[in-house]
């Protein structure tokens, strides 16, 4: 019964954070929390694929971009589209759906691209996967920049309604936590994790590694597409540069810091990195505004974060959670030092493989 306590352990604190932010009522805090939950969905998506399969993916932000633009085009009114784009496609100009269908549509398009692109890509491992997924990111980036009819080119796209609210984001974020955890416990998830541990042994017992990876990839792309749509309707103006290396580094960092192999890792990593990032950003702004130092501190946050990440990778590459899920036994073990608690924590039946 306590075996799946992780879901509750992760969901409840997140819910509490959301409630606290709602009660405090500060706009800035609310915005930070919305971005936190959007990032959470993306990091969880990355965990679903990269964490479970052991194959690096540098291309996920491409799906964020696809989801963002697709959902924006679906939800913008024809008048808004006419003023923002010079599209030649009548279908694109006329279509107009409410927020949720738009989100879904954007995510589905991202998933579709993942299905098409993923089928050949899933055969690659190691450095091949790295370069191929990176190449995919660049290709999508170039297409987004130059397909002006659909994305307004390298310029900013505008006219999107701000439909993302705190509770929509929180709900989807919590759903993502449950979904990621459920996925890793299904037989498909287990097969995928087996292929991560030992590719050849897994293949030898009949696991079709390409298919198993592909399913995770498509699910992961869908989730990232949802996050992209949420983000687009939060920030309401953006351009293709938002979906490139900076964002890629951020979500990879959040996942690695927390521990790539577990859902708890994704959540912990996102919370921690967001906290540090916002703290440093606030410091940077305060110093800039107070004229304490000559010149501005632009880039200070990123430098410290990158340095912290390098130190972490050297000392503890498996991340904070070390690939283990946080379970009830661990928390009980923290509070009571009795023999029973230690026994329970170490019971082989409950031990995470």
Partner 1 sequence: MESTNQILQFLINALSLGGLYALMSLGLALVYSILRLVNFAYGELVMVGGYSLLVVGQAAAIPWLIIAGIAVFMAIVASLLLERIAFRPVREASANTMLITSFAVSTLLQNAALLIISPRARAVRIPSFFIENWTVGELLISKGNLLSLVVSLATLGLLTLFLRRTIMGSALRAAADDFVMTRLLGVRANQVIATAFAISGCLAGVVSLFWVGRAGSVVPSIGLTPVLIAFVASVIGGIGSLTGAVVGGYLLGFLTVALNTILPQRLLDFRQAFLFGIVILVLLFRPQGLISGAYSAERI
Q: Find the length of the chain.
A: 353
**Looking at beta carbons only, is 177 or 280 nearer to partner 1?**
280
State which residue, 1 or 289, has the beta carbon closest to partner 1: 289
Question: Smallest gap, in angstroms, from Cβ of residue 98 to partner 1?
Answer: 33
The secondary structure of 74-96, three-state, reads: HHCCHHHHHHHCCCCCHHHHHCC
- Assess contact for 157 and 71: CB atoms under 8 A: no
Q: Between 165 and 318, name the residue whose CB sits nearer to partner 1.
A: 318
**CB-wise, 14 or 117, nearer to partner 1?**
117
Smallest gap from Cβ 315 to partner 1, in A, equals 8
Nearer residue to partner 1 within complex by CB, 19 or 139: 139
Binding site for partner 1 (CB under 8 A): 54, 56, 120-121, 123-128, 130-132, 134-136, 138-139, 142-143, 145-146, 199, 203, 209-210, 245-246, 249, 252-253, 256, 297-300, 302-303, 306-307, 309-310, 313-314, 317
Least Cβ distance, residue 128 to partner 1 (angstroms)? 5
SS3 call for 25: coil
Give least dist CB 209 to partner 1, A: 6
Let me know: does 328 contact 2? Beta carbons within 8 Å.
yes
Give the nearer residue to partner 1 in terms of CB position, either 161 or 249: 249
14 near 177, Cβ under 8 Å? yes
Outline where the chain has alpha helix (H). 5-24, 27-46, 52-53, 60-75, 78-84, 90-94, 99-121, 126-146, 148-151, 166-185, 187-197, 199-204, 209-235, 245-258, 263-290, 300-315, 328-335, 339-346
Q: What's the N-to-C CA distance of the chain in angstroms?
A: 17
Q: Minimum distance between the CB of residue 116 and partner 1, rounded to whole angstroms?
A: 12
Instruction: List CB contacts of 298: < 8 A, sequence separation 6 or more.
Output: 284
* Residue 56 Cβ vs partner 1, minimum distance, rounded to whole Å: 5
Q: CA dist 230 to 42, 93, 116, 266, 322, Å?
A: 11, 21, 24, 19, 30
Long-range contact set of residues 87-93: C-beta below 8 Å, sequence gap at least 24:
87/149, 87/150, 88/149, 89/149, 89/150, 92/149, 92/150
Closest CA to 211 of 279, 123, 274, 131: 123
Shortest spacing between CB 46 and partner 1, in angstroms: 12
- Residue (199 or 278) nearer to partner 1, CB: 199
CB 310 → partner 1: shortest distance, Å? 5
Compute the least distance from the CB of residue 132 to partner 1, in Å: 5
State which residue, 31 or 123, has the beta carbon closest to partner 1: 123
Q: Provide the CB-side half-sphere exposure for 210 (13 A, CA).
A: 9
- Tell me whether residue 5 or residue 248 sits nearer to partner 1 (CB atom): 248
């Amino acid at each position: 019964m306590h075996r799946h306590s992780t879901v509750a352990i992760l969901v409840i604190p997140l819910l509490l954070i959301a409630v606290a932010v709602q009660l405090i009522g500060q706009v800035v805090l609310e915005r930070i929390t919305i971005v936190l939950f959007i990032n959470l969905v993306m990091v969880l998506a990355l965990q679903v694929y990269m964490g479970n399969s052991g194959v690096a993916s540098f291309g996920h932000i491409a799906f964020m971009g696809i989801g963002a633009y697709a959902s924006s085009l679906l939800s913008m009114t024809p008048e808004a589209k006419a003023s923002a784009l010079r599209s030649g496609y009548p279908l694109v100009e006329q279509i107009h759906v409410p927020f949720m269908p738009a989100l879904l549509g954007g995510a589905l398009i991202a998933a579709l691209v993942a299905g098409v692109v993923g089928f050949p890509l899933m055969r690659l491992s190691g450095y091949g996967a790295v370069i191929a997924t990176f190449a995919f990111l660049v290709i999508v980036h170039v297409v987004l920049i130059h397909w002006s009819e659909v994305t307004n080119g390298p310029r900013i796209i505008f006219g999107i309604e701000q439909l993302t609210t705190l509770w929509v984001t929180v709900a989807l974020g919590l759903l993502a936590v449950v979904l990621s955890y459920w996925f890793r416990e299904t037989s498909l998830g287990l097969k995928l994790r087996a292929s991560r541990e030992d590719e050849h042994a897994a293949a030898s017992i009949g696991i079709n590694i390409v298919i198993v990876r592909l399913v995770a990839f498509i699910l992961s792309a869908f989730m990232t597409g949802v996050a992209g749509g949420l983000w687009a309707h939060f920030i309401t103006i953006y351009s293709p540069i938002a979906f490139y290396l900076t964002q890629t580094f951020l979500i990879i960092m959040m996942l690695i810091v927390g521990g790539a192999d577990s859902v708890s890792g994704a959540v912990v990593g996102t919370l921690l990195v967001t906290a540090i990032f916002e703290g440093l950003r606030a410091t940077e702004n305060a110093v800039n505004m107070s004229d304490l130092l000559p010149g501005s501190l632009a880039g200070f946050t990123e430098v410290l974060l990158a340095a912290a990440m390098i130190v972490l990778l050297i000392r503890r590459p498996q991340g904070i959670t070390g690939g283990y899920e946080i379970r009830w036994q661990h928390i009980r073990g923290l509070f009571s030092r009795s023999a029973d608690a230690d026994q329970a924590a170490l019971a082989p039946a409950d031990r995470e493989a």
